[in-house]
Structure 1
Amino acid sequence: MVRPVLLLLCLCLAACGQYPRDTHDSSIRARDAMRVGLSHDPPYVVATSNAAPSGPEVALIQAFADAHDLRVEWVIGGHEALMDDLLAHRLHMVAGGHTAQSPWTDVSWSRKFLVFDAARRIALPPGENAWQLEVDRWLHAQRRPLP
């Protein structure tokens, strides 16, 4: 009786594959270029068309990219359009413009982190579980997240 149960268990485990995984391959697509939407939200994100983006959230995202050997492609735009692009999986994350009352319930959110004593978070595409875990683990390792 034990052998059939063990065999069934082994077959079930083999069928599971690699978890977590991304439904739209965000982790894999980020290797070509990590597309990050930025909405002008000083002092956290300074994003204008005539200068390179800056601010602590921009620096945090660049540090994440550097740690993972990813090239960042900054996409500057209005918050609503950027969030629509995130939902359509055309962006890997969106920073700036988020408030505690954000109406965007369909996106995923990074774990919270502190910037200037304010709790902040980054919008991530929904269903990209491996990508979410990669971002959250890195944020946690920075000792910046909230408990």
Structure 2
Amino acid sequence: MIRVWLCLVVVLLAGCSPYPRDTHDSSARARDAMRVGVSHDPPFVVVELGRPPHGSEIARIEAFADARGLRIEWVVDGHERLMQALVEHRLHIVAGGHGVDSPWTDVSWSRPFHVRDARDHIAERRLALPPGENAWQLDVDRHLHATRRERE
């Protein structure tokens, strides 16, 4: 009887894997290059010809990448195309144009964070993340939570 229980435990443990995990390996792929889609949405995301993107959401993404030693590859495009690329797991994050009332339901969302807008009002924002990438989302959310006070 002990052998049966021991075999059962071994079989069950063999089926275990680390959780949370990414269904499309976003966390692992980000080590090569974290692909971030951006669309012009001042003052949160500012896209200007000949300059890297900048703004409050860009600063958050750069801080996240710096803390993890990730290189960012910026992808500038229209919002609809960026969101479709995110759904297809070709991007890690999409920034710009995401208030809490965004109509996109087939992507994941970061935890909300607060930033100041051009009139010095507090705006609630969030980042779009690829669906089903639970470890990646947890990592992004933990960073936003850990840095919430210093950026608000």
Normalised TM-score (structure 1): 0.90
CA distance in 2, matches of 1:138, 1:3: 45
Alignment of 1:105-144 (within 5 A): 105-116=105-116, 117-144=122-149
Deviations 1:20-64 (A, max 9, x none): 111111000000000000010001100133322110110110000
Residue 19 (structure 1) shift: 1.1
Q: Which runs of 5+ in 2 are unaligned?
A: 117-121
Contact 2:100 2:124 in 1 (8 A): no
Amino acid at match of 1:142: T
Q: Which residue of 2 aligns with 1:98?
A: 98
- Give the aligned partner of residue 119 of structure 2: none
Residue of structure 2 equivalent to 1:19: 19
CA–CA distance in structure 2, aligned partners of residues 37 and 19 of structure 1: 27
Runs of 4+ in 1 over 6 A off after TM superposition: none
Amino acid in the other structure paired with 2:79 = H
List runs of 5+ in structure 1 lacking aligned partners.
none
Secondary structure in structure 2 of the residue aligned to 1:106: coil
1:70 aligns with 2:70: yes
> What is the CA-CA distance between 1:100 and the residue it aligns to?
2.9
1:76 and 1:40, CA in 2 relative to 1: closer, same or farther beyond 3 A? same
Aligned length: 145
Residue in 1 aligned with 2:50? 50
Find the aligned partners of 2:36 and 2:9 in 1 and give their Cα distance: 42
